[in-house]
Amino acid sequence: MASYSDNGWLNTSIALGLALELELPEAVEQLMARTVGASIERYAKGVDEEEKRLFRLTRTWYGVLNLDHIFSLDGGKKPAVTPASSPRRLRALLSHPQRTPVDLRLFAQVELNAMRSSMLENLPRISDFSMDTEEEAELASVIRGARIDLDLWLEEWNSIIQKHSHEADSDTNVTLLNLQIQHEWALITLHLKAISMMGVENLALMTDKQRNIILAAKEAAERHLELLLHASSANEGDFSSPASERTYLASFKWTMDFVWAKCAFSVLLVLRLSMLLRDPPERLMQLLRQAHELLEELERGTGGQIAYFQILAVSVEKCEKALREHMRQKELQQQCESGNGVGGTAAFAATPGDLGDRHNDGNAGTPGNNDAEQDFQAYAPRELLLQWDFPGLNLRYIPIGWQDLLMDFDTMF
């Protein structure tokens, strides 16, 4: 119920309370005690019913704990419990006879979410967005260390999954793809949480180092989108099999609410950051094509009736409208220049947050001018704001001086 309902955090809290009443953490310790020093010969003789029961309880405990991690890391809820032991110890169960391919994904995600929680706690709390050199160096060091840890997690778990591929069979490629998607998601949230710690939302006020953090988040979001569209073939590189025609998105019909929310947010984020950081129109068009492909895949699998699908569709629509208005404004500017022989001050008066229909209005840039990009920048679906704590939706570009108001229009995309 927690995975497929709007109030999943509440159901998770109830499940976690019941798990503690049933003393599931103690079952984990008992299983670990049996596992330590266990020989292959012992497992060859089979596993007794008590150990099978302990493994089932361990799986249940970490499944509930993983949901609690999700709602605390990405839902803004306070974690209900902190594990007493390191999640890495779950690797001791990799060779256990009761371990299934699904357990591999569970263990990897539990370990990753524990790492993410530690990383976010280690981010320095900046009281003023105007950081000094020492604070910037500290933040850069924390982010660099976190990225190394995340890369090591991905490398190690790729090796683990491939080692057990003879057991996972056709699920192996999907599992490996899922690891990469989770890795990119961790990078997105790491960098955007770092920016939110500084309390700065306006890109016009950011330093070059702060903008580089935003750029790193955008690059991770672009890779995240590409991975969502990546074909999950039964045999890597074999696109002749029917399975290769199905993408990672084919399973979204049955996926949990959180995964839908991540998908909708990540696409909205990558389009918005591409516009805020003024990517060339060709790049933004490429991202829009990928977003349309994503929509088509999801609609085939789900019928397009899920709320997050509608959020995704509106995000693409608003971004396309903003880009069309920019291109129309640029065409009018070029016509004006070719007709008058000079650009004139008016041709340079647009700003990154001001790309709308202002050629018909002398009060350009003021609220209520039907500015498509301003509308896209302000788009923050209530489902993402109220149910989740995804960072980055508050980012804007608001000019702060004449140097911004007089910037060259051609450099804005």
- The whole-number pLDDT of residue 361 equals 36
Return the C-alpha torsion angle 354, 359, 364, 366, nearest 10: -80
Give a yes or no: residue 344 inside a domain.
no
Tell me 232's DSSP state: -
- State which residues of the chain have pLDDT below 70: 1-9, 37-45, 126-131, 166-170, 231-248, 250-254, 301-305, 339-370, 401-413
Longest dimension (CA), the chain: 90
- ∠ CA(368), CA(373), CA(374), 5° rounding? 40
Nearest partner of 393 among 206, 215, 224, 189, judged by Cα: 189
- The whole-number pLDDT of residue 127 equals 55
Q: What is the pLDDT of residues 175-201, one digit of tens each?
A: 899 999 999 999 999 999 999 888 889
- The whole-number pLDDT of residue 87 equals 87
- The whole-number pLDDT of residue 347 equals 36
Q: What is the pLDDT of residues 266-314, one digit of tens each?
A: 999 999 999 999 899 899 999 999 999 988 888 876 666 678 889 999 9
Which residues touch 233 (CB under 8 Å, ≥6 apart)? 173, 239, 241, 243, 244
Whether residue 1 contacts residue 42, with contact meaning beta carbons closer than 8 Å, is answered with no
Question: Could you tell me how many helices (H) and strands (E) the chain has, helices first?
Answer: 15, 0
Give a yes or no: residue 71 inside a domain.
yes
List the structure tokens of 353: 């947050």
Give a yes or no: residue 47 inside a domain.
yes
Alpha carbons within 13 A on the beta-carbon side of 194: 32
Give a yes or no: residue 16 inside a domain.
yes
List the structure tokens of 191: 């960098």
Give a yes or no: residue 136 inside a domain.
no
| Burial letters 225-251, b for 16+ CB under 10 A, else e | bebbeebbbbeeeeeeeebbebbbbbe
Give a yes or no: residue 220 inside a domain.
no
Sort 285 into a burial class: Cβ within 10 Å, 0-12 / 13-18 / 19+: middle
Domain that holds residue 58: 1-91
* Residue whose pair of structure tokens reads 């949990």 in the numeric block: 256
Number of domains in the chain: 1
CA distance 323 to 275: 9
Whether residue 401 contacts residue 345, with contact meaning beta carbons closer than 8 Å, is answered with no
- ∠ CA(278), CA(280), CA(281), 5° rounding? 105
The DSSP result for 352-368, as a single string, is: TTB-SS-TT-SSTTSTT
- The whole-number pLDDT of residue 391 equals 92
Residue 184, helix vs strand vs coil? helix
Nearest partner of 90 among 117, 120, 72, 113, judged by Cα: 113
Which residues touch 37 (CB under 8 Å, ≥6 apart)? none
Give a yes or no: residue 27 inside a domain.
yes
Radius of gyration of the chain (CA): 25
CA distance 374 to 264: 20
Nearest partner of 322 among 287, 348, 361, judged by Cα: 287
Residue 375, helix vs strand vs coil? helix
CA distance 13 to 85: 20
The structure's pTM equals 0.83
Indicate the residue type of 194: A
Give a yes or no: residue 74 inside a domain.
yes
